[in-house]
Structure 1
Amino acid sequence: MRVLFFSNPLVAHLLPQFPLARALRGQGHTVAFSTAEVMAPWLAPEGFELLLSGPSAEEVTDEVARRTGADILFSPTSQLVGAYFAGARVDLSLDEALAAARYWEPDLILHEHLDFVGPLVAAVLKLPSAAVATDPALEPDVTEALTAAARTRCLERGLELPSRVPSGRWLLDLCPPSLERRGALSPRERIALRPEPHEGPAGPTRARRAPVGDRPRVLVGLPHAAGATAGLGPVLRSLGTLDVDLVATTPGDPGEGPGLEPGRVELLPFTPAAELLENVSAVVHHGGSGSTFAAAARGIPAVVVPGSEAQQRQAEPLAAAGAGLVLPPGRQDPASVTTAVGRLLADPGFTVAAHRVRDEIAAMPSAVQVAEWLVASVSARRGR
């Protein structure tokens, strides 16, 4: 079977699809990705074919700004989110993606839940499709804006209007039950898909570092937005007052450390999450689904420092499950982060709760099982 994945040209949207793509390829199927050229450095090491389609995320952002006069990076309103994912990106990508798909002749289309090019290609070519829900939540107003923009594109092409987004015959849901938000994604034939911390295609990218003494290790993975690195040093210095060792990710060259005792902090550029989480007792992150699911899959409690209201609401189920603490706006200074991490390490109940979520994730169908189910389902529909 030939399976074509569609993704926004955003790393956080692309990587969660790799386990399923690897599983399909491992079962003898042919796999390719349709996305922008900027994703080539991530796809080439995996050996996945890239069907070029559409512009980079930066170019789509510029187009949305040209159309609306607003910058989605600084004002991510629901209308701008709809205009970006289901509007401008579709307008700039669809023709190229459709031509490439016609030539490649897929049997099944898979797309991450904020990709709206794949569903249109599937509709035009009359192919079965499934959405991979890489996030546990879409805000209701965002869903409405996305649906409206998607319906406009369908009307323009004489296609059946979607009743809901994300569209597709099946929804492959990476979110474990404990971390779901009720009503966040539309109900349909939902298939659980076990989330996995990202691993590189060729094994570990760095030498494993053994724990030093009995000090717990704390991973700090805050977002790499402009200015985020400048704020990392104060957080690390504050955390350094605890009896812990620290691991932190920074964009590009990590450069000089934050001035802590030698051997107490390890600064790394991008490193696969599966490696970062080795021998870690607690994680500090911003609440993105990739970080949330990765830590949960390893049974590691987290302190979440959300950068938006959506991330705040997304983190609440983690706190409700007892597997972490969420710092609301106004309580996200380095001292508050340090106090929260101290609580996680002092109270074993957080780790016990995180282990419950880990066991829940381990019980979800693996990528190999879901790949087998998808192929069987598509084959059965063909035979009708």
Structure 2
Amino acid sequence: MNSGAALAPSLDPTESSVRLLFSCTPAFGHFLPLVPLARAAHRAGHDVAVMTSAGMASVVAAELPDASFLAAGPMPDVLFTEVARRHPAADDAGVPGDPARVAELFAGVRVDLTMDDAVEAAGAWAPDLVVAEAVDFVGPLVARLLGIPTAVVAFGPALPEEFTSPMFLVAASRYAARGVAPEPPLAVIDPTPTLLQDPAWRPGPALLPLRAEPHRRDGESAVTGRHSGDGAVPTVLVTLGTVFADDALLQGIIASIAPGTAEVVATVGVLPDAVLPEDTATVHYERFRPMAELLEGVDVVVTAGGAGTVLAALSQGIPLVLIPQGADQPINAGRAAAAGVGLLVDHADAVGDAVQQVVADPRFAVAAKAVRDEIEARPSPDDVIAALAHRWSDEPASTRPTHPIDDQQRSTR
């Protein structure tokens, strides 16, 4: 039995359902970590809605067809443009990398350009609880205005204070502008095993541990039958995620892997009009697919270090070669390397040799399987949703903040 059984009993069927609003930055890597929890909430009979940019509507519908969709705010291209306008030193890729610009993106620009839509949409839907991914500052502010609690979903190793403090400082000014103050979350849902956290990390009192799972379409079975090839050479998955899927970098990585030393599966990102290169004798290209499908039969994953890819690979005990490009990837990659589950490289031409080292040295596979075992022992999404619902129902109503928006919306529910 996994440790999730100790979190909380199953929700009593006689209990009323909870209206859960899942809120996220409009990007795959921020939305997909919420999907298993949203599906679990729906299975438990709760009402589920997702709030993010209208440009994510088709993605949300494909993953969560039973959820209500609340459109609020622009897509990342608009956000990056505004960050660059406010901070002209933004890098060429348009993706802020230093703490000040990261804070401006998530806690400043996105809040400024999204809040009016979000307050109106969420107020009309009238949730009981907002579940927000870790760098979504829109959902928690909306929750504060509606007088309801927030649960926060982490998606990788804890960010250092040099990144979190500027974000909270910028966010605090947006709360003050609307006449409220931040409050601690009801729960912090964390899929990151302790083996990947900094040694100084300590769990807070609101922690709800979660079992990380590879992204899969609803209804698909768990990953089985890995290492299905003949084993003559290792199978290597090269995936740079959905933001840093640069073709030149991808081709440089593939070129570094000597023909005959590995079978390569390479993803080309999420853009539907992206050119899919022709397969070769040893390289097969894939468009965006659920990680649960891509990981079957894989011996090593080459990744830029996105949290979702790192956790997905390690949930299957697959070691890594990490070539971080930006955002939180250096943090995730550094923690993975420190845990002994992979090698960290800084140039594409070093990847091939690193792959061979990871394959040849059994210590990497042993360390990856240790992380897998810790992940498997953590509570399932169904366990976590049950615990969250009980935590919400046990919270005294008198301790919840109140706001005129809350009173108005609840009177019309």
Query: Aligned partners of 2:245, 2:390: CA distance in 1, in Å?
Result: 48
- SS of 2:395's equivalent in the other structure is helix
Q: CA deviation at 1:238?
A: 2.7
Q: CA deviation at 1:180?
A: 0.8
The amino acid across from 1:354 in the alignment is: A
TM score, norm. by length of structure 2: 0.83
Deviates more, 1:186-195 or 1:54-63: 186-195
Aligned to 1:360: 374
Query: Aligned partners of 1:197, 1:154: CA distance in 2, in Å?
Result: 35
Structure 1 residues 175 and 158 mapped into 2: Cα distance closer, same or farther (>3 Å)?
same
Within a 5 Å distance, the mapping from 1:60-139 to structure 2 comes to: 60-71=79-90, 73=94, 75-139=96-160
Query: Aligned partners of 1:10, 1:356: CA distance in 2, in Å?
Result: 30
Aligned to 2:395: 381
Deviates more, 1:80-89 or 1:316-325: 316-325
Query: Aligned partners of 1:292, 1:224: CA distance in 2, in Å?
Result: 14
Structure 1 residues 74 and 124 mapped into 2: Cα distance closer, same or farther (>3 Å)?
closer
Question: Aligned Cα RMSD in Å?
Answer: 2.4
Structure 1 residues 227 and 211 mapped into 2: Cα distance closer, same or farther (>3 Å)?
closer
Query: Residue 338 of structure 1: which of 344, 349, 352 is its match?
Result: 352
Query: Aligned partners of 2:37, 2:342: CA distance in 1, in Å?
Result: 28
The amino acid across from 1:321 in the alignment is: A
Aligned to 2:302: 284
Query: Residue 194 of structure 2: which of 165, 177, 181 is its match?
Result: 177
The amino acid across from 1:56 in the alignment is: M
- SS of 1:283's equivalent in the other structure is strand
The amino acid across from 2:118 in the alignment is: A
TM score, norm. by length of structure 1: 0.89
Structure number with higher relative contact order (C-alpha < 8 Å, ≥ 6 residues apart): 2
Structure 1 residues 186 and 193 mapped into 2: Cα distance closer, same or farther (>3 Å)?
closer
Confirm whether residue 216 of structure 1 aligns to residue 234 of structure 2.
yes
Residues 132-175 of structure 1: per-residue CA shift (max 9 Å, x gap) = 0113132322212111111101111121245xxxx522111111
CA contact (8 A) 2:244 2:325 kept: no
Q: CA deviation at 1:239?
A: 1.3
- SS of 1:9's equivalent in the other structure is coil
CA contact (8 A) 1:254 1:269 kept: no
Aligned to 1:151: 172
The amino acid across from 2:342 in the alignment is: G
Question: Percent of aligned pairs with the same residue?
Answer: 37
Aligned to 2:36: 19
Aligned to 2:334: 316
Aligned to 2:10: none
Q: Runs of 5+ in structure 2 lacking a partner?
A: 1-17, 399-413
Aligned to 2:315: 297
Aligned to 1:274: 292
Residues 342-374 of structure 1: per-residue CA shift (max 9 Å, x gap) = 011112221111111100000011101000001
Structure 1 residues 156 and 268 mapped into 2: Cα distance closer, same or farther (>3 Å)?
same
Q: CA deviation at 1:281?
A: 0.7
The amino acid across from 2:217 in the alignment is: G
Query: Aligned partners of 2:391, 2:328: CA distance in 1, in Å?
Result: 34
Residues 71-93 of structure 1: per-residue CA shift (max 9 Å, x gap) = 36255221111111111111111
Aligned to 1:198: 215
CA contact (8 A) 1:136 1:185 kept: no
Query: Aligned partners of 2:151, 2:162: CA distance in 1, in Å?
Result: 23
Q: CA deviation at 1:269?
A: 0.6
Query: Aligned partners of 2:37, 2:351: CA distance in 1, in Å?
Result: 35
Structure 1 residues 309 and 59 mapped into 2: Cα distance closer, same or farther (>3 Å)?
closer
Q: CA deviation at 1:324?
A: 1.0
Query: Aligned partners of 1:110, 1:226: CA distance in 2, in Å?
Result: 27
Query: Aligned partners of 1:309, 1:143: CA distance in 2, in Å?
Result: 13
Residues 202-229 of structure 1: per-residue CA shift (max 9 Å, x gap) = 649xxx9952563321111124557821
The amino acid across from 1:55 in the alignment is: P
Deviates more, 1:86-95 or 1:269-278: 86-95
Q: CA deviation at 1:309?
A: 8.5
Q: How many residue pairs get matched?
A: 370
